[in-house]
Structure 1
Amino acid sequence: MQSSRRTFLRQASLGLSAAILSPYLFSCQGNKTGNGPFHQLGIQLYSIRDLIGVDPVKTLETVAKIGYKHVETFGVDAAAGKYWDLPITELKNVLEDNGLKTHSGHYDMSKYLSRHHQEKENIEKYIEIAHQLGQSFVVAPVTPMDDLNNLKVEDYQYAAEQLNKAGEMAKKAGIKIGYHNHFWEFRNFANGTKGLDILIAFTEPDLVDFELDIYWIEKAGLKPQSYFERYPGRFSMWHIKDMDKQYTTPVVGEKYDKAGFMDIMKEIKYTEVGTGAIDYINIANYANKSGLQYAFVEQDDIYMPNKFESIKKSYDYIERSLAK
């Protein structure tokens, strides 16, 4: 019964999607050559989490056929040493078989970064897994989520100290620690200081880099260019997704800073890169200033029926408009 259900899910979610894409899968491979981050484009696999959870091998094959050159991992079962039921050595083989690399991974550090948790994630294990995969970055994808509306300066200072400690551990393996933002890191403290400012100021540049999520900084009512100017060279990674033109209201400020998380999420809607409100043409001009090494398409929720078609649409726009 379980086997039949798994087979059905695989056929329904993957077979149908691949069939819809098949007329142009081979024609959509990168036409432009180059070594820049927009030519060598990656994808955060969380974007297609339901597909990769059903059939990781077929999903990665399709990602490669669309033209993506590397993937950012998420959701490791560190104790079992597996991603999506694939042992790490097998995942590495699947990536190599499809000409894919992985330079970065998201690893849950929410307890590690929390000054209120005594129990901590095993950072050494994360570094070991990243090293096995050939990754250069172990990225903390989110702050502690327990009480977002009451994060204090001290919470960000503690998180920065923890990131530095992890960076010292990772340095021995030739790996850096990274941090990925959402919108709440841009809420104001005294004198307009923001949580992300504290994290940047209190972390060592040779140990900790930042992965700027372009959508979330824009959704906070700020411009990524301002952070690239203020902190040049600190943003070696970008997450690229677009903002639905009907959902552009910033979610940082008096009205939202004490609102419930689910109420805020009603103001959130994503779309494929190049179809929304974010001016990526201008932002891309700051790639060198930011220190960009790796760019990833990431769409937290995809609303198109065919999710492969969605990530292809974002890929095509970046290749056409940003990979100059």
Structure 2
Amino acid sequence: MNKRREFLINSGLVLGTLAITPSLAFTTKKRAIGIQLWTLRETLPKDIKGVLAQIAKAGFTEVETFGFSPKDNAFFGTTVTDFKAILDANGLKATSNHFDFNNFIKTGDLSDLKSYIAAAKVLGSEYVTIPWILPELRGTSADDYKKLAAGINKVAQQCHAAGLKLAYHNHDFEFTKFGNTNGYEILLNETDPKLVDFELDLYWAVRAGHNPLDLFKQHPGRFTMWHVKDMDKANKELNAEIGKGAIDFKAIFAQSKLSGMKRFFLEHETNYTPNPLESIKTSFDYISKNLI
């Protein structure tokens, strides 16, 4: 009887506290889990509706696009407006987009940027993201990276004027050393922190020999987006499902505030399991249960 009485009293105290301060009842809202659509690059172009539906079924709520054609104003033959409708029907939002800036890097021509901005606005996105630089266009000196940074600032100004943010996504080549610095450091130091964010690809940073935690300490708040993909324990050139590889994601996610991370996207580039959709679900479940 005494135990029951104590339980009722304690329960009443808890409920009374929540009634006074209801915000205490719901203080641990989980982050959205996004996916870079490149992960499903083999099937997405053939069946956009089906693949996006399967992504939503796996639990994802955000996506990062690739494959936009400014000439056609479409993703793999599907207009931006229709693509947005498919996303909406599945409860998905394209918060970031990987657009091709190689022509700009080569020629300085920004004629495609207008269509990129327009597409991002239709999708309700936050970010226009520079994803990849062709090997023949990559910098071979510190001055080359300073020139690239100046170009990125120029793009960022136009994105900002349109109410969007610009981000730069890395691979490993940006970490090429030039004396006591490297290309990535130059980009971080030479771009305007008010206009340019960085989408840190955790896998590529680790593969290049850099600890993401050190980058967070050196440049706090700059890495507002992440690509989350794991590294195979036996072969660093291969990916692994999240939690099965060599990267300590728990330590990295513990410092997300220092990083400035607002959102992240799962990505698998290499070493698919036989069923990619099962693979992304495995990674989703690990992230959901262990990292956020």
TM-score interval (norm. to shorter): 0.7 to 0.9
Confirm or deny that 1:78 pairs with 2:70.
yes
- Provide closer, same or farther for how the CA distance between residues 275 and 121 of structure 1 changes in structure 2, counting only shifts above 3 A: farther
Q: Which protein shows a greater Rg?
A: 2
> Number of paired residues?
267
- Provide closer, same or farther for how the CA distance between residues 144 and 227 of structure 1 changes in structure 2, counting only shifts above 3 A: same
Query: One-letter code of the match for 1:166?
Result: V
Match of 2:171 in 1: 182
Alignment partner of 1:288 out of 237, 240, 257: 257
CA distance in 1 between partners of 2:93 and 2:165 (Å): 17
- Provide closer, same or farther for how the CA distance between residues 59 and 302 of structure 1 changes in structure 2, counting only shifts above 3 A: farther
Q: Tell me if structure 2 keeps the 8 A contact 1:127–1:138.
A: yes
- Provide closer, same or farther for how the CA distance between residues 120 and 297 of structure 1 changes in structure 2, counting only shifts above 3 A: same
- TM-fit CA distance, 1:166: 0.8
- TM-fit CA distance, 1:302: 4.1
Alignment partner of 1:159 out of 148, 162, 171: 148
Match of 2:125 in 1: 135
- TM-fit CA distance, 1:143: 2.5
Match of 1:218 in 2: 206
Query: One-letter code of the match for 1:297?
Result: L
Match of 2:193 in 1: 205
- TM-fit CA distance, 1:35: 4.2
CA distance in 1 between partners of 2:28 and 2:96 (Å): 20
Query: One-letter code of the match for 1:129?
Result: A
Q: Which range moved further: 155-164 or 64-73?
A: 155-164
- TM-fit CA distance, 1:113: 2.4
Query: CA deviation digits over 1:184-241, x for unaligned, max 9?
Result: 11121112x0101111111111111000000001001110000011000000000000
- TM-fit CA distance, 1:303: 2.1
- Provide closer, same or farther for how the CA distance between residues 34 and 89 of structure 1 changes in structure 2, counting only shifts above 3 A: farther
Q: Tell me if structure 2 keeps the 8 A contact 1:181–1:213.
A: yes
Q: Tell me if structure 2 keeps the 8 A contact 1:170–1:177.
A: yes
CA distance in 1 between partners of 2:250 and 2:56 (Å): 25
CA distance in 2 between partners of 1:190 and 1:128 (Å): 41
- Provide closer, same or farther for how the CA distance between residues 33 and 74 of structure 1 changes in structure 2, counting only shifts above 3 A: farther
Q: Which runs of 5+ in 1 are unaligned?
A: 1-31, 249-267
Q: Tell me if structure 1 keeps the 8 A contact 2:105–2:137.
A: no
- Provide closer, same or farther for how the CA distance between residues 292 and 51 of structure 1 changes in structure 2, counting only shifts above 3 A: same
Query: CA deviation digits over 1:154-205, x for unaligned, max 9?
Result: 22111111111111101122101110001111121112x0101111111111
CA distance in 2 between partners of 1:238 and 1:163 (Å): 19
CA distance in 2 between partners of 1:178 and 1:35 (Å): 25
Q: Which runs of 5+ in 2 are unaligned?
A: 1-25
Q: Which range moved further: 152-161 or 47-56?
A: 152-161
Confirm or deny that 1:304 pairs with 2:273.
yes
Pairs within 5 Å for 1:229-244: 229-244=217-232
CA distance in 1 between partners of 2:77 and 2:85 (Å): 14
Query: CA deviation digits over 1:86-116, x for unaligned, max 9?
Result: 11111101111111111100001123124xx
Aligned CA-pair RMSD = 1.7
| 3-state DSSP of counterpart to 2:129 | strand
- TM-fit CA distance, 1:85: 1.4
| 3-state DSSP of counterpart to 2:42 | helix
Confirm or deny that 1:110 pairs with 2:102.
yes
- TM-fit CA distance, 1:145: 2.2
Q: Which has the higher contact order (CA 8 A, sep 6+)?
A: 1
Query: CA deviation digits over 1:229-268, x for unaligned, max 9?
Result: 10000000000000000124xxxxxxxxxxxxxxxxxxx1
CA distance in 1 between partners of 2:108 and 2:161 (Å): 25
- TM-fit CA distance, 1:121: 5.5
CA distance in 2 between partners of 1:86 and 1:204 (Å): 35
Q: Tell me if structure 2 keeps the 8 A contact 1:241–1:299.
A: yes
Q: Tell me if structure 1 keeps the 8 A contact 2:73–2:115.
A: no
CA distance in 2 between partners of 1:110 and 1:121 (Å): 12
CA distance in 1 between partners of 2:230 and 2:40 (Å): 16
CA distance in 2 between partners of 1:151 and 1:106 (Å): 24
Query: One-letter code of the match for 1:290?
Result: S
Match of 2:47 in 1: 55
- Provide closer, same or farther for how the CA distance between residues 302 and 134 of structure 1 changes in structure 2, counting only shifts above 3 A: farther
For normalisation by structure 2, the TM-score amounts to 0.88
